[in-house]
């Protein structure tokens, strides 16, 4: 019974809560128990407060009893990546630097989730400051892929994907700067959406690369992701980059839009380096769409091969500046070694940051430094323009693009830790969407022979999340990959 | 893009205020040389006349009216501070620099 | 005290960087109130503290203020400008980068008219313009309080909007620097942009100073002088630095390019420690903020708010009211005062000088004595003309007029009301005046003799007693006539 609750979708739980078949406290307790049993192996969380969650669940049940239920998410437990500020809760970004930091304020996303009545269940592990693709860069512990505990769950929102796959959460929130929601969703066999840049407020999202970061939901099915997106999306006057466009009912639109669509296959996404099993699964999904009457055509995104290089310049440059605030003065780790204020910076930052963060700060500092700005940063910004233009041209021909989410299934822990460049190339199919600002969703589309999940990515036009979700949902309706669970 | 791909690691680490060990310096120098070699790809792209993008979408004139809102209570502002005295953040002696 | 002829052989070349706090109600990039003298860390929020996840949002009023500043000083206003991050670590900087404007400042070029000292205080000095390179907007940092073993950080000031005004190397003496800052301050205060109180840090100044032999075209090695945080500090600091550099050159030394701090007590400048990478600020466009586009309608709205600048007003006052330099140089720098004057003179242009005299002499004296400002003042501008009129038409004497003024200042009544209530109207009753004159003449036989002997001034000896007897109300002109007639008849 309790495991069944843990693997239910938000949509099912919401209906059962409304019918009075189950209470929020029961759901929350089931998740707490499930987590206690599998978390020692999965290690998806950085922090859990069962009492606090149960208190919120109790309050939701009381609202419902009083006839004051707030909507489809009232009483639903949601687990959030440890990168979004939630007043009174730890905000560590899986970094020593913020190990003891407790946020005094709410991010807009958390504020909206609270308003929707959700139960906040724990804080999810991640690559430190969202820098990584494997969640091995957490300062606290790596997270395991529930489908194979020796393997990585993807990253940086590895905790968000793994907790969901392991039944420790029913839906989660992650953040996606270069694929950090979609890639772990693909590797853990769940659905993950990166909305259009500006669709969801970044206020209270700890910045990695401000012009690329976007908060995104992960769920067991497309409908769950659509409902969560509806709860967190919308213009926010506290985020200057949030865009003032209407928020449709994503879930309803995703159900109503039926196609057939014109779908593009970017040829650059099916070249060398694509794992044969991943290729086969994605091509099978493409066949499905063709059978549904969709027009499938090959398109070209000629600057794809420059995306990773562009990304690692833009993202690290922004990160080097965004992470300057962690200096041990107002909050965060403070070194005991310091003899003066300048010294304090050097040692606090050296002790507080992990290797990957230091590496990216060094790279970002270098590409902005005197004499190198034009050669690296300015050039990357120009290539970024061209990458966006590639997508604009493709979207003149097609409604959306179908691609693999990750070139490979989950790799073994430790396999790429000594080769940052190889690790960076794991994001090759997801990074361009961040550079262009467009929405993308990853859905399960099969498994490898050894039982590892494979993800299909649907990329759409700016602010066409409904279209992207509708296309994904059409596939999901006739496939059951997303209903499978790992043995733990 | 510059031909030499060797980062002056001491200079850059000083700019970034990171005290790196010798091992870290050697490791990062080597790894970042690889990354810089990789990003040299961008030299192949013809960017003549291309406008740089600082944002995914360009929106202009995003602002608020000058209407004061409530500050954060001082105790909340100081709650995460490593050291506080007289409601201020304590830092080791500041050597005045220009 | 400072002249440009410290040495005939050398001339100084000075450029300034002036930071002026904009008087907005909330901060530059968040809506926390601005303020001065509040308890530490009370004017802060996640944005000011640079907490993880906090994001900046522009303050429209600060943008209005800088464009207005640019329009006042004839700058080119950029149709599009953007925000850049200036990256450097310092404990007063919560994010360890400052949001500023680098290669696309909102205002470029422009000029500020200044007046140099004349041959004496009563004579207008020569005017010239100091060219501006640029004006941009940025956020202020917090404040450090230094102690023996540590420092304390207060972030109340952090995030206050600042305009940074950069001049061309267009000044040559401490007097010119002083004149520039004076003109700048007058304009900013007149436009309501800032109070420019240097003691409160609302206006801060750094100077780039170099010295070269007269006639040499290339500039000498420049020294950046910091901590010029009062008007006298600016004068003394610039003056000291010019002398120091000239003396060094005269000794055959070379000037080192460096940053020096001026010690306002010791009145000397000393070199500051500079880091090798100090000027590698790694500016890049702030991804958290969107660019600003300035259209014609916005410019037109602000152009309507550009105040008349002090020197323009002064020229108009010469022309329109025929006022002397000495009077205008009191009225014009203070916008409230010159507005008050213009309200007083409205419909009474022919009495402008007399009205101005009352304001500059009596009104300012009374305000100073009572510690009031013009805003507290009970006396109405329109009442001054009434006072002048009463005096000119002989209703009251100049002596009584002072008394009436003092009463008007206290009660806010018009001159006519005071004269009426206190019965101060001059006595022109001839019979009564003749009686007092006769008594005065009778009491001073020696003065009668003196007057008869041709000493004209001896007549004044009788006027005092007459005025005393009339309690000041005797019409002085009539008294003079009667006395002369009576003395002639003797
Ligand atoms: Mg400056
Ligand atoms: Zn400045």
DSSP-derived 3-state class of residue C140? coil
Cα A417 to Cα A133, A411, A421, C103, distances in angstroms: 10, 11, 10, 40
| C439 and C344 both lie in a single domain | no
Domain assignment of residue B64, yes or no? no
Is the CA virtual torsion A118, A121, A122, A128 positive or negative? negative
Q: C336-388: per-residue pLDDT in tens?
A: 999 999 999 999 999 999 999 999 999 999 999 999 999 889 999 999 999 99
C396 neighbors C425 (Cβ within 8 angstroms):
yes
DSSP 8-state assignment for residue C427: B
Q: Which residues in chain A are closer than 8 Å to B81, comparing Cβ atoms?
A: 330-331
State the residue for tokens 């909507």.
A71
Cβ neighbours around A275 below 10 Å, total:
16
The whole-angstrom separation of Cα A285 and Cα A300 is: 20
The whole-angstrom separation of Cα B52 and Cα A388 is: 11
* pLDDT score, position C165: 98
The whole-angstrom separation of Cα A363 and Cα C366 is: 67
Indicate the pTM of the whole model. Answer: 0.91
Domain assignment of residue A481, yes or no? no
Cβ neighbours around C17 below 10 Å, total:
16
The predicted model gives B86-96 an average pLDDT of 90
Share of chain A above pLDDT 90, in %: 95
Domain assignment of residue B87, yes or no? no
For A373, phi then psi, to 5°, come to -55, -50
pLDDT band for position C84 (50/70/90)? very high
| CATH assignment of the domain containing C439 | 1.10.10.410
| C331 and C352 both lie in a single domain | yes
Domain assignment of residue B89, yes or no? no
Q: Is the pLDDT of residue C63 over 50?
A: yes
Domain assignment of residue C256, yes or no? yes
Cα C16 to Cα A118, B17, C180, C361, C425, distances in angstroms: 57, 30, 9, 36, 58
pLDDT band for position B96 (50/70/90)? low
Does the beta carbon of C192 lie under 8 angstroms from any beta carbon of chain B?
no
Please name which of C318, C406, C315 lies closest in space to residue C362, comparing C-alpha atoms: C406
Does the beta carbon of C377 lie under 8 angstroms from any beta carbon of chain B?
no
The predicted model gives C181-195 an average pLDDT of 95
* pLDDT score, position C475: 80
Structure tokens at C400: 């009584």
Domain assignment of residue B94, yes or no? no
The predicted model gives A428-440 an average pLDDT of 97
Q: Is the pLDDT of residue A254 over 60?
A: yes
As for how many domains chain A has, the answer is 1
Q: Is the pLDDT of residue A271 over 50?
A: yes
Domain assignment of residue C243, yes or no? yes
Walk across the sheet containing B84-85 and list its strands.
Answer: B84-85, B88-92, C150-154, C143-146
Q: Is the pLDDT of residue C5 over 60?
A: no
As for how many domains chain C has, the answer is 3
B55–C146 C-beta distance less than 8 A: no
CA of C75 to the centre of ligand 1 (A): 19
Per-residue buried b or exposed e for C278-291, using 16+ beta carbons within 10 Å of the residue's own CB = eebbbbbbbbbbbb
Nearest C-alpha of chain A: how many angstroms from C138?
Answer: 17
Does the beta carbon of A373 lie under 8 angstroms from any beta carbon of chain B?
no
The whole-angstrom separation of Cα C3 and Cα C25 is: 41
Q: Helices (H) and strands (E) in chain B — how many of each? A: 3, 3
Residue C131: which H helix or E strand, with range? strand C127-139
| C152 and C26 both lie in a single domain | yes
Domain that holds residue B21: 9-43
As for how many domains chain B has, the answer is 1
Domain boundary among C302, C336, C368: C302
Does the beta carbon of C46 lie under 8 angstroms from any beta carbon of chain A?
yes
Structure tokens at C31: 């809506």
- For residue B89, what is the nearest residue in chain A, using CA coordinates? A330
Nearest to B74 among C41, C60, C290 (CB): C41
| C31 and C64 both lie in a single domain | yes
Q: C146-160: per-residue pLDDT in tens?
A: 999 999 999 999 999
Domain assignment of residue C146, yes or no? yes
Q: Return mean pLDDT, chain A.
A: 97
Domain that holds residue A132: 2-256
Is the CA virtual torsion A62, A63, A64, A65 positive or negative? positive
Please name which of A234, A195, A231 lies closest in space to residue A215, comparing C-alpha atoms: A195
Domain assignment of residue A41, yes or no? yes
Q: Which residues pair with C206 in a beta bridge?
A: C17
Domain assignment of residue B58, yes or no? no
Domain boundary among C276, C302, C328: C302
The whole-angstrom separation of Cα A219 and Cα A221 is: 5
Domain assignment of residue B57, yes or no? no
Q: A169-220: per-residue pLDDT in tens?
A: 999 999 999 999 999 999 999 999 999 999 999 999 999 999 999 999 999 9
Please name which of A178, A181, A158 lies closest in space to residue A232, comparing C-alpha atoms: A181
* pLDDT score, position C279: 82
**Calculated CA dihedral for residues A134, A140, A143, A149, nearest 10 degrees:** 110
Structure tokens at C189: 């205060």
For A144, phi then psi, to 5°, come to -95, 155
The whole-angstrom separation of Cα C154 and Cα C156 is: 6
The whole-angstrom separation of Cα A327 and Cα A333 is: 8
* pLDDT score, position C8: 66
Domain that holds residue C485: 430-489
Structure tokens at C41: 């860390």
Q: Which residues pair with A265 in a beta bridge?
A: A298
| C46 and C101 both lie in a single domain | yes
Q: C438-458: per-residue pLDDT in tens?
A: 888 988 888 888 988 888 888
pLDDT band for position C1 (50/70/90)? very low
The whole-angstrom separation of Cα A467 and Cα C119 is: 80
Nearest to C31 among B69, B94, B97 (CB): B69
**Calculated CA dihedral for residues C397, C402, C403, C405, nearest 10 degrees:** 120
Domain assignment of residue B24, yes or no? yes
Q: Is the pLDDT of residue A280 over 90?
A: yes
DSSP of A314-375, one letter per residue? HHHHHHHHHGGG-SSSSSS---S--SSHHHHHHHHHHHHS-HHHHHHHHHHHHHHSTTTIII
CA of C144 to the centre of ligand 1 (A): 19
Share of chain C above pLDDT 90, in %: 73
CA of C434 to the centre of ligand 2 (A): 76
| C377 and C436 both lie in a single domain | no
CA of A320 to the centre of ligand 1 (A): 22
The predicted model gives C136-140 an average pLDDT of 98
Q: A82-123: per-residue pLDDT in tens?
A: 999 999 999 999 999 999 999 999 999 999 999 999 999 999
Does the beta carbon of C261 lie under 8 angstroms from any beta carbon of chain B?
yes
| C87 and C225 both lie in a single domain | yes
Catalytic residue among A81, A194, A257, A461: A81
The whole-angstrom separation of Cα C321 and Cα B13 is: 67
DSSP-derived 3-state class of residue C174? helix
A373–C89 C-beta distance less than 8 A: no
First to last CA, chain C: 61
């Amino acid at each position: 019974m309790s495991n069944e609750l843990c693997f239910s979708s938000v949509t099912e739980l919401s209906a059962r809560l409304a019918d009075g078949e189950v209470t929020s406290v029961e759901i929350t307790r089931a998740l707490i128990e499930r987590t206690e049993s599998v978390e020692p192996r999965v290690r998806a969380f950085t922090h859990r407060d069962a009492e606090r969650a149960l208190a919120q669940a109790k309050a939701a049940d009381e609202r419902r009893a009083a006839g004051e239920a707030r909507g489809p998410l009232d009483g639903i437990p949601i687990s959030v990546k440890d990168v979004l500020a939630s007043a009174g809760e730890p905000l560590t970004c899986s970094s020593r630097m913020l190990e003891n930091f407790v946020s005094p304020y709410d991010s807009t996303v958390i504020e909206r989730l609270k308003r929707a009545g959700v139960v906040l269940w724990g804080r999810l592990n991640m690559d430190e400051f969202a820098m990584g693709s494997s969640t091995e860069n957490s300062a606290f512990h790596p997270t395991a892929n529930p489908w194979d505990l020796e393997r990585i769950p993807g990253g940086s929102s590895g905790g968000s994907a793994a907790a969901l796959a392991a039944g420790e959460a029913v839906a989660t929130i992650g953040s996606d700067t270069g694929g950090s929601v979609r890639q772990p969703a693909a590797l853990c066999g769940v659905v993950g959406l990166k909305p259009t840049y500006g669709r969801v407020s970044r206020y209270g999202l700890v910045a990695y690369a401000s012009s690329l970061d976007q908060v995104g939901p992960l769920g067991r099915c497309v409908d769950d992701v659509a409902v969560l997106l509806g709860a967190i999306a919308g213009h926010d006057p506290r985020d200057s980059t949030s865009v003032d466009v209407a928020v449709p009912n994503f879930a309803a639109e995703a159900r109503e839009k039926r196609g057939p669509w014109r779908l593009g296959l970017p040829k650059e996404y099916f070249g060398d380096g694509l794992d044969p099993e991943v290729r086969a699964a994605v091509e099978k999904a493409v066949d499905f769409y063709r059978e549904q009457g969709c027009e499938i055509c090959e398109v070209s995104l000629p600057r794809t091969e420059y995306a990773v290089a562009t990304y690692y310049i833009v993202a690290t440059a922004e990160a080097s500046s965004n992470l300057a605030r962690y200096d041990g003065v107002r909050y965060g780790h403070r070194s005991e070694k310091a003899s003066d204020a300048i010294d304090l910076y050097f040692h606090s930052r050296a002790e507080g940051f992990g290797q990957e963060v230091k590496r990216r700060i060094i790279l970002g500092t270098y590409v902005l430094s005197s004499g190198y700005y034009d050669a690296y940063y300015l050039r990357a910004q120009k290539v970024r323009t061209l990458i966006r233009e590639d997508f604009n041209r493709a979207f003149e021909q097609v409604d959306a693009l179908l691609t693999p989410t990750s070139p490979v299934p989950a790799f073994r822990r430790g396999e790429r830790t000594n080769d940052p460049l190889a690790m960076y190339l794991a994001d090759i199919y997801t990074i361009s969407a961040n550079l262009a600002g467009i929405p993308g969703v990853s859905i399960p589309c099969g498994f490898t022979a050894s039982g590892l999940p494979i993800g299909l990515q649907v990329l759409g036009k700016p602010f066409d999340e409904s279209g992207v979700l509708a296309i994904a949902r059409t596939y999901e309706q006739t496939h059951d990959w997303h209903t499978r669970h790992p043995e733990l | 893009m510059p031909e030499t791909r060797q980062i002056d690691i001491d200079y850059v680490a000083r700019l970034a205020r990171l005290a790196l060990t010798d091992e870290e310096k050697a490791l990062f120098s080597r790894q970042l040389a690889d990354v810089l070699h990789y990003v040299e790809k961008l030299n192949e792209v013809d960017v003549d006349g291309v406008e740089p993008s600082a944002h995914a979408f360009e929106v202009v004139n995003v602002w608020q009216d000058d209407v004061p809102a409530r500050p954060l209570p001082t105790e909340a502002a100081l709650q995460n501070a490593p050291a506080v005295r007289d409601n201020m953040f304590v830092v080791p002696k500041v050597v005045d620099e220009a | 005290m400072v002249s440009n002829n410290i040495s005939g052989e050398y001339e100084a070349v000075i450029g300034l960087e002036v930071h002026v706090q904009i008087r907005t109600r909330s901060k530059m990039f968040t809506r926390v109130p601005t303020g001065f003298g509040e308890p530490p860390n009370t004017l802060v929020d996640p944005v000011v503290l640079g907490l993880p996840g906090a994001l900046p949002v522009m303050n429209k009023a600060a943008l209005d203020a800088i464009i207005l500043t640019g329009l006042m000083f004839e700058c080119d206003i950029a149709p599009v400008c953007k925000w850049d991050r200036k990256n450097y670590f310092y404990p007063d900087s919560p994010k360890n980068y400052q949001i500023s404007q680098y290669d696309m400042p909102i205002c470029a070029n422009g000029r500020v008219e200044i007046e140099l000292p004349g041959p004496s205080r009563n004579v207008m000095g020569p005017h010239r313009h100091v060219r501006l390179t640029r004006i941009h907007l940025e956020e202020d940092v917090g404040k450090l309080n230094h102690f023996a073993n540590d420092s304390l950080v207060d972030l109340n000031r952090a995030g206050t909007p600042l305009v940074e005004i950069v001049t061309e190397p267009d000044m040559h003496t401490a007097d010119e620097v002083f004149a520039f800052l004076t003109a700048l301050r007058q304009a900013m205060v007149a436009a309501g942009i800032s109070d420019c109180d240097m003691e409160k840090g609302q206006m801060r100044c750094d100077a780039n100073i170099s010295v070269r032999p007269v006639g040499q075209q290339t500039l000498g090695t420049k020294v950046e002088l910091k901590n010029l945080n009062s008007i006298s500090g600016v004068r003394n600091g610039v003056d000291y630095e010019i002398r120091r550099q000239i003396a060094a050159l005269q000794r055959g030394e070379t000037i080192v390019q460096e940053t020096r701090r001026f010690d306002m007590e010791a009145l000397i400048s000393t070199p500051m420690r500079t880091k090798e990478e100090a000027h590698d600020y790694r500016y890049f466009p702030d991804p958290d903020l969107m660019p600003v586009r300035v259209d014609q309608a916005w410019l037109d709205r602000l152009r309507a708010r550009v105040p008349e600048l002090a020197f323009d007003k002064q020229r108009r006052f010469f022309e329109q009211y025929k006022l002397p330099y000495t009077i205008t140089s009191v009225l014009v720098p203070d916008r409230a005062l010159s507005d008050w004057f213009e309200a007083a003179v409205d419909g009474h242009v022919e009495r402008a000088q007399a009205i101005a005299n009352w304001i500059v002499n009596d009104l300012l004296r009374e305000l100073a004595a009572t510690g009031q400002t013009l805003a507290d003042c009970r006396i109405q501008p329109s009442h001054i003309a009434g006072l002048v009129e009463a005096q000119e038409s002989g209703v009251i004497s100049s002596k009584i007029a002072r008394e009436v003024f003092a009463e008007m200042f206290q009660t806010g009544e018009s001159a006519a009301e005071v004269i009426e209530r206190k019965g101060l109207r001059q006595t022109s009753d001839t019979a009564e005046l003749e009686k007092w004159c006769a008594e005065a003449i009778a009491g001073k036989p020696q003065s009668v003799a003196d007057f008869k002997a041709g000493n004209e001034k001896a007549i004044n000896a009788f006027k005092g007693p007459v005025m005393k007897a009339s309690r000041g109300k005797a019409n002085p002109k009539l008294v003079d006539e009667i006395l002369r007639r009576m003395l002639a008849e003797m």
